[in-house]
Structure 1
């Protein structure tokens, strides 16, 4: 395996993993910051959610770039490039899905008071 192949495989996995990773960090971060948000009104949870939604969308962009790159590889690769293209499309879909979930959690954290326990 050459360094170029290793680098492209890392890009495919990065695109697939950034969305769920950003959502997990956002979920735990919102629960952690809820206690402190009740004491003083701060938008640290909203800022964190916005940044993490951007990270999930960055994973989508990485996967979309891999889809564009893999379109030409289907013709030149003896194996057809099917698994890599599938993985790239999976990264695009999961990145968009997790960015929407983070946006939903952001809306809920802005609408519901953290002091209502």
Structure 2
């Protein structure tokens, strides 16, 4: 059995921080990259969007683990961990839809 992490309260906030940060970065890159992708043969947009989805899912997983570690004590860290996990999953779904849009719509049409 692995020992609990040193700061489960900080890990509970991972989904609430990593998910929106990934969404923010993906949105900004989605606004600036089409100009560079239009004439180029390499399209980094779908790969960067996929990395943002994975980052958001990682934050959701960390929050879920932190809420499970503190569930016996309940209270605010368990709630923040559950809320962070749910937020990370919802944002990961939105990022997945954005990454699918980068595959369907060409960069010149954006």
TM-score band w.r.t. shorter chain: 0.7 to 0.9
Give the ranges of 4+ consecutive aligned residues of structure 1 lying more than 2 Å apart after TM superposition: none
Q: Determine the structure 2 residue equivalent to 1:40.
A: 40
- Say if 2:12 and 2:63, in contact at 8 Å, map to a contact too: yes
**Number of aligned positions between the proteins:** 105
- Displacement of 1:85 after TM fit? 1.3
Q: Which residue of 2 aligns with 1:78?
A: none
- Does 2:85 align with 1:89? no
The aligned counterpart of 1:15 is 15
Alpha-carbon separation, structure 2, partners of 1:9 and 1:65: 11
What's the counterpart of residue 50 of structure 1? 50
What is the Cα-based RMSD across aligned positions, in Å?
1.4
* Deviation for aligned residue 1:10: 1.8
Task: Give a deviation string over 1:26-54, Cα, whole Å, max 9, x none.
Answer: 11111111111101132311110111110
Aligned to 2:104: 111
Deviation digits for residues 60-103 of structure 1, max 9, x if unmatched?
Answer: 1101101210122x2xxxxxx32111111111111001111111
Pick the structure with greater CA Rg: 1
* Unaligned segments of structure 1, at least 5 residues: 75-80
Instruction: Indicate the structure with greater helix content.
Output: 1
User: Under a length normalisation based on structure 1, what TM-score does the superposition of the two structures give?
Assistant: 0.82
Q: 1:69 corresponds to which residue?
A: 69
TM-score by length of 2: 0.87
